[in-house]
Amino acid sequence: MEHRRKKISVIGAGFVGSTCAHWIAAKELADVVILDINEGAAKGKALDLAQAGPVEGFDAKIIGTANYKDTAGSDVVIITAGLPRKPGMSRDDLLSTNAKIMKDVCTGLREFCPNAFVIVVSNPLDAMTYVAYETMKMPKNRIMGMAGVLDTARFKMFISEELNVSVEDIQAIVLGGHGDTMVPMPRHTLVGGVPLTELMPKEKLEALIQRTRTGGAEIVGLLKTGSAYYAPSASAVQMAETILKDKKRIIPCAALCEGEYGYKNLFVGVPALIGGSGVEKIIEMKLNDEEKRMLDSSAAAVKDLVEALKKLS
């Protein structure tokens, strides 16, 4: 039996895409194809990253291209293509431009790697995952959006800073759409096994939740010329690794709900069991009335975007 390295194609050679390639190569997770309509950018970044191999001691073949043919045989595809936010923009402002880009990308992918697992990172995240699903016509377990991992990482980092404890001892989860309506779950957050609600006064906790919701905008406001890329790319690569290594981790991500939590035909952030078959199962948490109300309002915001998309096309 021929043993081959895994292959991950990253669509978009911007900051998120190239940093995805960096994490993948450094972990020796797979060979990498960086694809961008700007072929020079894709080839240049691939060459530069490959030349870090001798220094860092990683063996991974990295190529840059503008041709979808080079993605053939990909095990996983991470889609980061699209415009990033500028200060004052919401993720939703990117809707029509990025929907068009997403359709073009997925048409190319459908031809050359129809059996890959697809992780969408482009904003507005939940709606773009829906566009990819509709365009690729693939089974729902093979497509997911990266948002919950990032939002949860931000929430954990803020908690660790506030309590002065290691991020490794925090277990948390953030549900809902990847936007201002996201739903951090303090009642389900543990610090070294101790419920967060016992360690922090309510108003402090509220402030951290609000900061988590606007975590992306905070970075956009500071950078002024783009949006976050280290944590988003690390989050997407963690999802890819979970699939490739069949880890069976429970990860919050945008998955297609067909009845779960009462939502139909909607991609929204829920806890999902991710393994070698992609989204293997959506876990239904027992939510109290307030949590359910917040999740419903988040799902409604995502639904509005998807409806707006349908009017555009």
Residue that terminates a domain, selected from 145, 171, 200 = 145
User: Tens-digit pLDDT profile for the chain (313 aa)?
Assistant: 667 899 999 999 999 999 999 999 999 999 999 999 999 999 999 999 999 999 999 999 999 999 999 999 999 999 999 988 888 888 788 899 999 999 999 999 999 999 999 999 999 999 999 999 999 999 999 999 999 999 999 999 999 999 999 999 999 999 999 988 999 999 999 999 999 999 999 999 999 999 999 999 999 999 999 899 999 999 999 999 999 999 999 999 999 999 999 999 999 999 999 999 999 999 999 999 999 999 999 999 999 999 998 887 6
Which residues, in sequence order, are CB contacts of 154 under 8 Å at separation 6+?
211, 212, 215, 231
- The tokens for 200 are 């922090």
What is the rounded CA–CA span in Å between residue 293 and residue 288? 9
Which three-class secondary structure string do you get for the chain? CCCCCCEEEEECCCHHHHHHHHHHHHCCCCEEEEECCCHHHHHHHHHHHHCCHHHHCCCCCEEEECCHHHHCCCCEEEECCCCCCCCCCCHHHHHHHHHHHHHHHHHHHHHHCCCCEEEECCCCHHHHHHHHHHHHCCCHHHEEECCHHHHHHHHHHHHHHHHCCCHHHEECCEECCCCCCCEECHHHCEECCEEHHHCCCHHHHHHHHHHHHCHHHHHHHHHCCCCCCHHHHHHHHHHHHHHHCCCCEEEEEEEEEECHHHCEEEEEEEEEEEECCEEEEECCCCCCHHHHHHHHHHHHHHHHHHHHHHHHC
- The tokens for 101 are 């880009």
What is the rounded CA–CA span in Å between residue 59 and residue 196? 42
Write out the residue range of the structural domain in which residue 236 sits.
148-312
Instruction: Report CA dihedral (297, 120, 52, 47) to the nearest 10 degrees.
Output: -140
What pLDDT score does 289 carry?
97
Instruction: Classify residue 246 as left (phi > 0), alpha (psi -120 to 50) or beta.
Output: left
Length of the chain: 313
Positions annotated as catalytic residues are 178
| Whether 181 and 288 share a structural domain | yes
Confirm whether 1 is domain-assigned.
no
Confirm whether 212 is domain-assigned.
yes
Question: Residue 116 is part of a domain; what is its CATH number?
Answer: 3.40.50.720
pTM, full prediction = 0.97
What pLDDT score does 227 carry?
93
| Whether 69 and 106 share a structural domain | yes
Confirm whether 2 is domain-assigned.
no
CB atoms within 10 A of CB 115: 10
Residue that terminates a domain, selected from 145, 171, 192 = 145
What pLDDT score does 72 carry?
98
What pLDDT score does 214 carry?
96
8 A C-beta contact, residue 147 and residue 126: yes
What pLDDT score does 142 carry?
98
For the chain, how many structural domains are there in total?
2
| Whether 261 and 204 share a structural domain | yes
| Whether 188 and 301 share a structural domain | yes
CB atoms within 10 A of CB 79: 29
CB atoms within 10 A of CB 259: 10
Peptide bond into 124 cis (omega under 30): yes
Residue that terminates a domain, selected from 130, 145, 160 = 145
| Whether 135 and 228 share a structural domain | no
| Whether 109 and 195 share a structural domain | no
8 A C-beta contact, residue 14 and residue 84: yes
| Whether 135 and 215 share a structural domain | no
| Whether 289 and 178 share a structural domain | yes
| Whether 114 and 44 share a structural domain | yes
